[in-house]
Amino acid sequence: EAQVTQNPRYLITVTGKKLTVTCSQNMNHEYMSWYRQDPGLGLRQIYYSMNVEVTDKGDVPEGYKVSRKEKRNFPLILESPSPNQTSLYFCASSFWGFSYNSPLHFGNGTRLTVT
Amino acid sequence: RKEVEQDPGPFNVPEGATVAFNCTYSNSASQSFFWYRQDCRKEPKLLMSVYSSGNEDGRFTAQLNRASQYISLLIRDSKLSDSATYLCVVNEALNEKLTFGTGTRLTIIP
């Protein structure tokens, strides 16, 4: 089954403790991206990657890191999480950028709480 | 002004009714447009793309008005299962940026 898989689904952690949220897709997609979703603010892009070893900042990259060593994986790293990073996170992928022939597919989300 | 704006609702509509909502966008160079549906605490899923000529998929009709810079979604004969948040998504092709609206929450009432 074609899908984008994120883990974990739920994560509660403390301020300053490094964590990684994994994202993997099995559709051979070139493009992958991370979003966070907060009430009243909608989905905001954190980082995106157009291909292996190519990553770029989105709208809200501060406090996050990503890597794209393999085409299928795009982990999100929080080196020193803070409470303002408490949010619902989504990984997404598409064949190439966004177009009518290349819609965005989302993972099922990771709800992160930083205390 | 927000780049993509939607009325957050909530819209409470009786089953079987027709409901429509709009989404405005600020960048006149925007290239492609989509409606996504998001159920509570779930991931967004593509509902339909919005083409220049307008398009229909069963009970759903999407329209694009480039002159006034808005897109619309019409749902006919609404079902309980249509209850969700509907996200307007706009691709500003120049920088390959995808911008999401904050969503319109729809509840269909029996």
Q: How close A113 gets to chain B, by Cα (Å)?
A: 15
**Interface membership of A51 toward B (CB under 8 Å):** no
> Phi, psi (5° rounding) for residue B29?
-90, 5
Contacts of B100 in chain A (CB under 8 A): 35, 42-44
Other beta carbons within 10 Å of B40: 8
For residue range B79-104, what is the model confidence (pLDDT) as tens digits? 999 999 999 999 876 556 788 999 99
For residue range A51-74, what is the model confidence (pLDDT) as tens digits? 999 999 999 999 999 999 999 999
**Mean per-residue pLDDT for B49-63?**
93
Best of B43, B46, B90, B97 to substitute, by most chain A Cβ atoms within 10 angstroms, is B43
Tell me how far apart the alpha carbons of residues A69 and A104 are, in angstroms, rounded to a whole number. Answer: 21
User: Cβ neighbours of residue B13 under 8 Å, at least 6 residues apart?
Assistant: B19, B78, B106, B107, B108, B109
Q: Do B43 and A88 touch (CB under 8 A)?
A: no
**Interface membership of B23 toward A (CB under 8 Å):** no
Confidence of residue B29 (pLDDT cuts 50, 70, 90): confident
The closest CB to that of A42, out of B43, B49, B103, belongs to B103
